Structure 1
């Protein structure tokens, strides 16, 4: 689907289904996935069974189920429901329940679909099925339930062109308990995955390996592996099957050992750099923030799929060229180590906090990860090199920037989220030290756990002010909240 057509679909979706926004809908609490890879044929067959649970205080009689227009399911059915309407253009299905879904009750939604390689692909970085390497990200393969804000247009000019009203989201610095809209994305899920691939392939899914067996599939000898999570994770599972080499190394921490899997780590020196970054970052979080909650962490050094690094729950994907074929700069600044630290940090920032509030900025995800970079590079003697690097990048951005100034936590541009974040946290560390910052981050996790609702960027600022001397408050407010 071309971008222009995608815009039309999104506009039609909002016009036809906005009235579902305030209707009580169940949320996905458990994903059971059966994924069968056929790498030589470039396809994968996927069967999903989603547990839908009514967490509202209202009875539910109708359920809206949406599929991504580029991944048309072969079948979708809801337990104890009849299909009332199927909108082919927007891929929305309205189901009527035979018996109301009462608060606390659950239903199963079953989906069957096939994913195939295409020459023109909508999401080339997240769906590829090839002989040496296959990777499928659960989003957008997993159907959405109820009205989905992420299916709508956000560009103001495109909205005006489509006859849609301007969005009324508050800016990040103005979010409050009363105006912060919480999306279904905030719900974490348990995941069980059964992956089948030809014998000789290494498969990977969220959670721990529970069982493995071989079977004959026609002329092909296959291996099936069952994975299951011990605790809920953010609902963006990934399923991988690869012939690339894989190694297992322990990251020994104070309280436990984490198994680090390294796929396609074919350069020993580079592998050691990434393993060292993983071990040291996991240890820092264990000491200062919270222990890593899982037993495994996997580094996948993939073919060039787009991003230099990308984090999913328990899985980190890196561009193979940048991770395995580059070397440190002459001054000792190693982008491989920095990038690995950043992506490991997303196991906390982005997958434990920082999601579920569509109006919030990327501060809790990307900017806090930049803070961790500073902390981890300092003992290596290259923290100042990072600051200098980001200062140059931010200065270059400002030279060509014609947009009005924004407060740091309201920034959406890459330069604000990454480069400006580095400069802000470098100054903040000099101003108040690390303890108030790490105390604030721990308080964020505690607040989200106790309230059961996502925390926001503005919560960080408020909690930081409560943990620092008043003499620093003016400068802290300037750094985070003043438009500049």
Structure 2
């Protein structure tokens, strides 16, 4: 917890704005509740979600580190910038805290470890929307729907960072804080946040921002086949037969096809020492411009390929994430 506090403060102060208090305190309370919460400079934290955590499995998500980083992020998102009591207000508190904590988590554990967390968020979002009783709303109009502002918020901001760059997104957030921190009524909104993001992202990312925040978008990406041939020079030529599709949904789940014009990662991986995905070596990982339903991609790698993937780290909202990777036939 202390390490997470220190690293969170370092990242948030470097990228957003100065921390506004003289101390940070974490207070343990008994396990009659399972949550943590951020007050000004003080974070009540249940023993049942942190103090008795078993973190001996090195492959498990270090949720104590993450929850602590999320609560520290609230010292900016809710304690410096607070949204008006309208649709989208929890984007400014919860979604931005999710993004902030993800960045601290990634700096600590590396990009290659993020798939497990992103897949967790993806599965929770998909199961959450399946239980929606009224209407699913686009992220920027969320109405205190946790599966949207937490789970989808993580996926949206992580992908936005991937597309426009961490520096650009953090510049937008830093300018947003500079203009909106400690505001008196009328308070800011998620629509105003999007203005800052669009200004930094530029016109070429207009459709991306619309898809992520203002629409309910899904992908159906999968690896249909993956074969490799060893070349005379000892390298391997890997061919991936892919399927790609994008859909828009309304609040009740009715879907319509969308035009594919997206940049999606293609990856090739070598078998790791344990044979588990967690320690596979990345041989190739690049974004490709996808505009057709049946793209075919051929890449050359230096070592024997073991697995290939289309959006292999689950950065896009794909309802069947298990078919994004496939063993390579040599």
Higher deviation after alignment, 277-286 or 296-305? 296-305
Residue 295 of structure 1 is matched in structure 2 by: 22
The answer as to whether partners of 2:34 and 2:48 remain within 8 angstroms in 1 is no
Question: Larger relative CO (CA 8 A, sep 6+): 1 or 2?
Answer: 2
Q: How does 1:397-436 map to 2 (within 5 A)?
A: 397-411=128-142, 412-436=144-168
Residue 179 of structure 1 is matched in structure 2 by: none
Structure 1 450/344 Cα, relative in aligned 2: closer, same or farther at 3 Å?
closer
Per-residue deviation, residues 72-104 of structure 1 (Å, max 9, x unmatched): xxxxxxxxxxxxxxxxxxxxxxxxxxxxxxxxx
Q: How does 1:244-393 map to 2 (within 5 A)?
A: 274-328=1-55, 329-355=57-83, 357-360=84-87, 361-379=89-107, 380-381=109-110, 382-393=113-124
Give 1:307 deviation, angstroms.
4.3
The answer as to whether partners of 2:34 and 2:49 remain within 8 angstroms in 1 is no
Structure 1 Cα separation of the partners of residues 33 and 72 of structure 2: 19
Structure 1 458/324 Cα, relative in aligned 2: closer, same or farther at 3 Å?
same
Q: How does 1:145-164 map to 2 (within 5 A)?
A: none
Higher deviation after alignment, 429-438 or 362-371? 429-438
Structure 2 Cα separation of the partners of residues 308 and 474 of structure 1: 36
The answer as to whether partners of 2:27 and 2:43 remain within 8 angstroms in 1 is yes
Give 1:400 deviation, angstroms.
2.9
Structure 1 Cα separation of the partners of residues 203 and 22 of structure 2: 41
Q: How many residues align?
A: 210
Unaligned runs of 5+ in 1: 1-273
The answer as to whether partners of 2:140 and 2:191 remain within 8 angstroms in 1 is yes
The answer as to whether partners of 1:327 and 1:334 remain within 8 angstroms in 2 is no
The answer as to whether partners of 2:26 and 2:42 remain within 8 angstroms in 1 is yes
Q: Which of the two has greater helix per residue?
A: 2
Residue 475 of structure 1 is matched in structure 2 by: 208
Q: Which one of 181, 185, 188 corresponds to residue 455 of structure 1?
A: 188
Structure 2 Cα separation of the partners of residues 368 and 307 of structure 1: 22
SS of residue paired to 2:27: strand
Q: How does 1:19-30 map to 2 (within 5 A)?
A: none
Structure 2 Cα separation of the partners of residues 305 and 350 of structure 1: 25
Give 1:384 deviation, angstroms.
2.2
Q: Which of the two has greater strand per residue?
A: 1
The answer as to whether partners of 2:29 and 2:46 remain within 8 angstroms in 1 is yes
SS of residue paired to 2:38: strand
Per-residue deviation, residues 111-164 of structure 1 (Å, max 9, x unmatched): xxxxxxxxxxxxxxxxxxxxxxxxxxxxxxxxxxxxxxxxxxxxxxxxxxxxxx
Residue 287 of structure 2 is matched in structure 1 by: none
Structure 2 Cα separation of the partners of residues 346 and 390 of structure 1: 19
Per-residue deviation, residues 337-393 of structure 1 (Å, max 9, x unmatched): 0000000000111111124x2224211100000101221111213322211111111
Q: Which one of 436, 443, 464 corresponds to residue 197 of structure 2?
A: 464
TM-score normalised to the size of structure 1? 0.41
Per-residue deviation, residues 306-327 of structure 1 (Å, max 9, x unmatched): 2411110010011112211112
